[in-house]
Amino acid sequence: MSARSRARFLVFLAGLLGRLPWPVVYRLGDLVAWAWRRGDVREARVARRNLELAFPELSADARETLRRQVLRTTARQALETLKLWTRPPAHNLERLLRERHGEALYDAALAAGKGVIVAAPHFGNWELLNQWLASRGQIAIVYRPPESAVGDEFLQAVRGVDNVRQVRAEGPAVRQLWKVLKDGGAVGILPDQQPKAGDGEFAPFFGVQALTMTLLSRLAERTGAPVLLAWCERIGDGPQFALHVEPAPAAIADADPKVAVACLNAEVERIARRAPAQYQWTYKRYTLRPPGSGEVNPYETREWAKRPA
């Protein structure tokens, strides 16, 4: 069976899940979170280590409570995204977006014809944000392709809604994004993924040096396109979200890359601190350490790998 055929089968399975009522989807998510904790799987261990690094001021009990909330939210978000991907975007936006803040700001930036860069942290549900952005017009979204060809075909199928152009985060991406912005279009970037060594600058993120992409800041500085921060924040315990769009500080496009990435990380951290359980703490953000620092990968220490008693 070809990669495309297998991806289509996965889309079919996702469609079956998408037909389940929201309460059932969330109960399944809670079961997944319980299994992650019970088995102390990768997601559970990475979340524990990240929270140790980012919130050293919290007691062990408080961090464990937050970790349980993180895993619950993460599991729910994964399953609800499958439902979002297999339901009409207009239906999702009408039913799930209960609040909209800054919508006119985005429309005005897009109408100005100078291009617009959307910085969308891994917070809340960024796939619902993608669907909202696509509802306002065409947008090029930068993504890191999965190692699996099947996974990439699956993403192309479920994210390939009207007005969405997916750009692989590879060498030619910069030229493609440059052209989109010069033509007055919109570009969406998830700015808190660790780039490859040599492709970024180190800057504090929750008090820990983190290698941070310079792509967003370079595009903003060289094209003059405004940068907007955007996210869909979960409100309440059900499938309800609030859209937020805000202008980014001017320093995010500073010609000095160290200044720019420090601003970028500070803004992502500010958003994540609104509701820490809604941030993606299951991602290994700090694997690469500053050259000459003597620091080791915090996810490979014996203390991290050891299961708690």
Q: How many CA atoms lie within 13 A of 70 on its CB side?
A: 26
- CA dist., res. 212 & res. 197, Å (int): 10
- CA dist., res. 287 & res. 126, Å (int): 23
The alpha carbon torsion through 119, 122, 128, 133 (nearest 10 deg) reads 10
Q: What is the chain's percent helix, strand, coil content, to nearest 5?
A: 50, 15, 30
> 118-164 pLDDT, tens per residue?
999 999 999 999 999 999 999 998 888 777 888 878 887 777 667 88
> 40-87 pLDDT, tens per residue?
999 999 999 999 999 999 999 999 999 999 999 999 999 999 999 999
Q: Which residue has the higher pLDDT, 171 or 150?
A: 150
Question: Three-state DSSP class for 59?
Answer: coil
pTM for the whole thing? 0.92
Mean pLDDT (whole number) for 20-30: 95
pLDDT band at 305 (very low <50, low <70, confident <90, very high): low
Return all residues near 161 (Cβ < 8 A) that are at least 6 apart: 89, 131, 134
Q: Is the dihedral of CA 245, 137, 182, 130 positive or negative?
A: positive
- CA dist., res. 200 & res. 161, Å (int): 31
pLDDT of 91 strictly over 90: yes
The domains of the chain, with CATH numbers, are 89-305 (3.40.1130)
The CA-atom distances, in angstroms, between 201 and each of 171, 226, 252 are 18, 21, 13
Return all residues near 44 (Cβ < 8 A) that are at least 6 apart: 36, 37, 67, 71
